[in-house]
Chain A
Amino acid sequence: MTRRIWLEIGPLQEGQYTGLSQVTAGLAATLLGDTTRAVGFFLGRAAIPPEIVATVLTRGEGEFLSFWLARHTPRAPATSLNETSIALFPNVKTCRRGFAIETQIVHDLSTLLTPQFHLPETVRFHAAAMADDVATNDLTFCVSEATRQDVLRYLCPPDPARIITVHPGPGQPGALAPPMVPVEPFVLVLGTIEPRKNIAVILEFLAAQTQLLAGLRFVFLGRHGWGEAPATLLARHGLNEAAEAGRILFPGYVSAAARDALLARARLMIYPSLFEGFGLPVLEALAFGTPVLTTRSSSLPEVGGEAVTYFDPFTPEDFGRGLAEALQDRHATAETARAARRTWAARFSWPKTWQKITAAIDNLPEAGR
């Protein structure tokens, strides 16, 4: 019997693709390119035609999906009696028992293990669903070995062999990469503005070392998620003046093309997160050959390996040490160093991810369990 893999594309409804929606977009693009397998896409309990998914990916935002859904009544997925339907949920399971085989990608147990970094309603929604999702999965794909170990230790699934580490690939490159023109040196801080991302450690340092801003701009790229807003953070650290002078910038969310341009040209990308399931920004920076300063939290050493500089976020002065080390390395931006980073990043790719996912699915018995 034919096996059809159905990718749930709920995250593609988002207006701005970051994190989970980026991962879903990467997977969707890979599925669309795989002509050897029967694949499908679904949203809720509705099948979405591949050409619609392709259009959504080209546009890079989810509004079109809502627009299309409002004007069509799509068929239900997994209705063919001649196929074994396999669901691949790229995040939480939006439905259970709707497919013969259910697989899921688990990104992290952050809402369970670090609830202090999340809104209470987010914790309630995710932490409660987590164990039930994994318990009802035929396969669970973890985006890092760190997450896999968390799943094994805290969720105690009945069959550890069905919990598999599958690293994701980098985000989809922006379609309109601008030409490389000289720009003033800047440091990029990439990620949603929220407590877990820990950008306060950078602002605290800049507040004490304002002279650094004379030679470097700091660009905090990402939408405001929750917690203190950029204006509040700047005021709390006494950095309003630097922001008004354009030395510290919070441009919010930008297009994939603009993000890529900034990633490619940054003197350094800083990712000071306190807990991660994977850490896509680190991989994306490395894919451009850009130097990275990050922490050794959870999954980040898996992503950064020896290609990045680390600091300890629990020792305040260590950020200054790490920053100096990263900035003072005269060879850091040399082409050979950039190439080495790109080589490291190349070990992560969506085709490799897809290959590992499909191999695991192929090894499942027909009945699923």
Chain B
Amino acid sequence: MTGAKAPGGLPALFISTAVSGDIARNLGVAHYSYNFAAARFRTLLAQDFPALRDLVMPEYYATRAAMPAPPAGEWLHLIFRSTGEIRLLKPAWNIACFAWEFPVLKTETLPGEAPTANQAGMLNSCDEVWVASQFARNVLQSHGVAQVHVVPAPISRPKVPGRAACLRLLAGLPVTQLRVNPAWPDALAEAEARAGETTLDAALRQFSARAVLFLAILNPEDARKNLDALIRGFHCHRQEYPDSLLLLKLIRGGDGITLAEVAGGILRTALGPGTALADPGILICNAFLSEPEMTALYGAAPFYLCTSIAEGQNLPLLEAMICEAVAVSTTGTAMDDYLSADCAIPIASTARPNDDPRLAGLVAGRNFTVARASATDVAHALNRARQLSVPARERLAHAGREQVARLYGPAAVRARITDRLCGLGIAPST
């Protein structure tokens, strides 16, 4: 970068996130939850860049003079959007904060397609790209995107109360026990779900005091999450460990998910047509939770279960790990950066050609291989988790926390950003 420097040597920072309400509604449906990542960067950088500004329409500003009270010095623009929605702030150094978890990228525009459909082209329209994983960097570089740097979203450790205190905080959390019957029409499925609705406290009291809670947080409409294997694997595991309980927290941006949707369509779609499955140890929660309640959720569960086939970074998993939940998780893609048998219980998976038409990677226009865990793989890993001694589990929990703090803690991410600012010739924060 060239030009005058801002007082103190720091550039002015601008952030643009989702374009419209549509993005918010689709949060998690696409391959990455950009708004969540942007919020984390905003919090981290607010101290270093007090004049940080959010932009609704960066394309509005063709020149510096178009900005009210334009800041002096260099301008940085962090773009947290999918490639099709990248819009440049022309007077700034534009950085696409991009998450990608598939081995292919769209590198051309076919006749009749809008130029915004070309992922590599849109990324190359920016001055550089920040990705959350080594996997994404390798994929982008192999598809002709040169200026790629690994700068993941930061993960802070919240103040986590003890497990008992967390459970007390969540005692009134509404949950429903898993029951799916292919013969039930939607209305009956919803009525059954409502009839089965209870509180977390009441549900837990049906089991022994020694029951072990596993947590999974996901968008059930996100095909990457491999929800079928997660539920069936846990159900299978419970045949051997009936005091294992799964709290499945469902999330979706915008209006959230109604119980009618969960009972009527989401679970049936995830588990496949004709599925009949009832398991009182699989508790589904679709309620909106505040931030302290989310923290309590992480603190309440000694284990976090993830069966994803591909992840851009996987913020819920990292949040769980920094709260000392032991990850029982598939590896691959971004998770290869931070998961190993030293700090987690890996779930085995098998690489096969993708057969799911819902995966975002197919926008590249060609198929690819994905590593998918089966229900049996999941059950085996869960059994291994339950076979851990208490000291062994605590060792893993501690190692997981340290791993996340080392790679994604605010200090670690700030150091990466400082490196990039130095690379751009901008004086780093002191």
A: residues with CB less than 8 A from B are 112-114, 116, 123, 127-128, 130-132, 145-146, 149-150, 153-156, 274-275, 295-299, 301-302, 312, 314-315, 318
Contact = CB atoms under 8 A, between A and B. Distances in A.
A227 B416 CA distance: 45
Contacts of A295: 60
A104 to B, nearest CB: 16
A123 to B, nearest CB: 8
A113 to B, nearest CB: 5
Contacts of A156: 115, 121, 124-125
28 contacts: A113-B59, A113-B87, A128-B113, A128-B114, A131-B109, A131-B115, A150-B59, A153-B88, A153-B125, A154-B88, A154-B115, A154-B116, A154-B122, A155-B115, A156-B125, A274-B57, A274-B60, A275-B60, A296-B60, A296-B61, A296-B66, A297-B66, A298-B62, A301-B65, A301-B66, A312-B68, A315-B68, A318-B68
B19 interface: yes
B111 interface: yes
A149 B67 CA distance: 17
A127 B57 contact: no
Nearest to A127: B114
A146 B62 contact: yes
A298 B87 CA distance: 13
B73 to A, nearest CB: 20
A170 B121 CA distance: 36
Given A130-B115, A153-B125, A318-B68, A298 B59 contact: yes
Contacts of A149: 62, 90
A301 B114 contact: no
Contacts of A154: 88, 115-116, 122, 125
Nearest to B67: A296
Contacts of B67: 296
A contact face: mostly helix, strand, loop, or mixed: helix
A295 B88 CA distance: 19
Contacts of B87: 113
Interface centre among B20, B56, B65, B115 (most CB of A within 10 A): B115
Interface centre among B20, B65, B114, B116 (most CB of A within 10 A): B114
A156 B111 CA distance: 15
Nearest to A110: B59
A156 B115 CA distance: 9
Interface centre among A131, A275, A297 (most CB of B within 10 A): A131
Interface string B63-83: 101111000000000000000
A296 B59 contact: no
B353 interface: no
A305 B90 CA distance: 19
Contact of B114 (A130, A150, A153): A130
Contacts of B60: 274-275, 295-298, 314
B147 to A, nearest CB: 15
B19 A128 contact: no
B301 to A, nearest CB: 40
Nearest to B61: A296
Given A156-B121, A275-B60, A296-B61, A128 B112 contact: yes
Given A301-B66, A312-B68, A116 B20 contact: yes
A57 B65 CA distance: 39
B115 A301 contact: no
A123 B116 CA distance: 12
Interface in B226-273: none
Interface centre among B65, B66, B87, B113 (most CB of A within 10 A): B66
Contacts of B125: 153-154, 156
B113 A112 contact: no
